[in-house]
Amino acid sequence: MSGAPRADNSQQHDPPAAAGNGGRFVFRARVFDADELRRAHTRIAHEIIERNHGAADLVLVGLYTRGVAIARRLADVISGFESVDVPVGALDVAFYRDDIALRAVQPLGPTEVPVDVSGRVVVLVDDVLFTGRTVRAALDALTELGRPRAVQLAVLVDRGHRELPIRADYVGKNLPTNEGDDVRVRLAETDEEPDGVELWSQEGAP
Amino acid sequence: MTGMKHLLSIADLERNDLEDLLELSESFREVTQRDIPKVPALRGKVVVSLFYEDSTRTRISFETAAKRLSCDVMAFSVSSSSVQKGESLRDTVQTIEAMGIDAVVVRHSAAGAPNRVASWIDASVINAGDGCHEHPTQALLDLLTLRRHLGASLDGARVAIVGDIAHSRVARSGALAFAALGADVTLVAPPTLLPSTVAGWPVTVSHDLDELIPELDVIYLLRIQRERQGAVLFPSLREYTARYGLTVERASRLRKDALVMHPGPMNRGVEIAAEVAEGPASVITEQVTNGVAVRMAVLYTLLGTGAPVV
């Protein structure tokens, strides 16, 4: 009951700004298959350790829903080659979003960060970086929990179209997209489907 | 659920509405346990508490909930207002609304008063207790407390609500809410303290608490409301306690994992023995803690969904 993440609605995170004009989505391209996704996790995990000179003081904080699963995978990879257990947290940003009262913003699960973030390096983890508004909300949510020494951002896919001055420190893949496209991330833990990332476009889009 | 504008009674809600509110309450429980138990979700929203009856916990709980969502809160106190000069309920709420408010939390001694208020103004209305009718947020906090102990579904749980059912809005909202989530609800009271409408409730009725005690998962005691009783409905408080009070002796015959609940304020030694209220089976203080979280969930649902309001 408590602590269990709710069923994900993939439109909860930054819905495509141009969506809603009734276009049907058609498959465009496979961005990652399961093996490529695993390699991207491995590379990002190594980059995090390299940049921070080890795993001391690190906390991986995933954004609901898929960011949490990705953060756990990164922690597993790190413990495999560094022999340390990096704490993993889950952050819900619903109450910090700037579009509450413009649409129904429902929390996806309770925030659970197992350690005090003050003085540590927090790596926020999400599946897709788009407008940057989710990350903006996450920075506010994180500030309420303490004062990290530094905050970094890891994402599987950066699809562009930022509306705020935010960039990722670790990126699985930079993917040029149209604003109305849908980047579909599927993870075994959250979607009951095989791992993979696909790009879908609205019918008739260039 | 989205598009819900007022919270007037549990009878208006379906099982999935209740479950959505309880899920949301879990997120707010986490917020209330932080060092800084506050989120900016409802910045700029104005909530007025309009209490025509005395209250400690409900009023403070609503005001705390609103503040933890970053609402601005205005407290209206009947004793220091123009109500003393004879201003009507309608004029009072319309005056308050003209100042620009988003929600009003109403407690009134007349059943249905919040529904009338809702018909007069555009702001959201939350029923914080109306006469002997309903007290929906109390039922929600009771449900949250039960779910945290019994699991997400209450299917088959044996719940007894004991005491002054006739005068109790808590009993009506609670019975409807517990039954909606699948609990098997029994009302236990002397015939004089049962309402005439009880035939329509999703409950069974008993006059014998001792017979039920060993089977119960939950015993919910109601306050004997001396202020609402015009007539003498039972011979004496001592006799009431002897037959319907949760004494130390009776509590000892409850199952080991049974829960003891009370909406407060308690008459210690009347409907519940002080030792039982403070004993290990009691979840009475948890009920109060959960009250803030469910009221945050209600305010967020009414004011934060952005759904077009009708």
pLDDT of residue A106: 86
Q: How confident is the model at residue A11 (pLDDT cuts 50, 70, 90)?
A: very low
Domain boundaries, chain B: 10-135+289-303, 137-283
Whether the pLDDT of residue A109 is over 70: the answer is yes
How wide is the angle at C-alpha B102 spanned by C-alphas B100 and B107, nearest 5°? 110
Residues of B with Cβ-Cβ distance to A1 under 8 angstroms? 26, 147-148, 151-152
Of B31, B41, B148, the CB nearest to A2: B148
Burial of A29-39, coded b for 16+ CB within 10 Å and e otherwise, reads: eebbeeebbee
pLDDT at B309 over 60: no
**ipTM entry:** 0.77
Q: Do B27 and A103 touch (CB under 8 A)?
A: no
Mean pLDDT of B185-198: 91
| Element containing residue A78 per DSSP (H, E) | helix A66-82
pLDDT of residue A21: 52
Taking CB atoms and an 8 Å cutoff, what residues of chain A touch B40?
Answer: 95-96, 140
Q: Tell me, what's the pLDDT at A17?
A: 46
Please judge whether B42 and A100 are an interchain contact, meaning their C-beta atoms are less than 8 angstroms apart: yes
pLDDT at A122 over 70: yes
Classify domain B10-135+289-303 by CATH number.
3.40.50.1370
Share of chain A above pLDDT 90, in %: 78
Of B27, B42, B305, the CB nearest to A92: B27
C-alpha closest to that of B216 among B272, B305, B281: B281
What's the pTM value of the predicted model, to 2 decimals? 0.87
Alpha-carbon gap: A204 to the closest alpha carbon of chain B (Å): 30
CATH superfamily of B137-283: Aspartate/ornithine carbamoyltransferase (3.40.50.1370)
Inter-chain CB proximity A2 and B305 less than 8 Å:
no
Using a CB-CB cut-off of 8 Å, the residues of chain A touching B23 are: 6
- Token couple for A76: 């597993």
Name chain A contacts of B27, Cβ cutoff 8 Å.
92, 94-95, 107, 109-111
Active site residues of B: 57-58, 85, 107, 135
In this prediction, residues A92-104 reach a mean pLDDT of 88
| pLDDT at residue A9 in the model | 40
Mean pLDDT across the stretch B101-117?
96
Given a contact cutoff of 8 angstroms between Cβ atoms, the answer to whether A175 and A158 are in contact is: yes
Helix, strand, coil in percent for chain B, rounding step 5: 45, 15, 40
B17/B129 Cα distance (integer angstroms) = 20
**Sheet of B259-261, strand order:** B204-206, B184-188, B158-162, B218-221, B259-261
Q: Where are the domains of chain A?
A: 25-202
Dump pLDDT digits (tens) for A66-76: 999 999 999 99
- Return d(Cα B48, Cα B299) in angstroms, integer: 12
Q: Report which of residues A14 and B62 the model is more confident about.
A: B62
Query: Is 80 exceeded by the pLDDT of residue B202?
Result: yes
CATH number given to A25-202: 3.40.50.2020
**Percent of chain B scoring above 70 in pLDDT:** 96
Closest to B307 (Cβ–Cβ): which among A92, A104, A145? A104
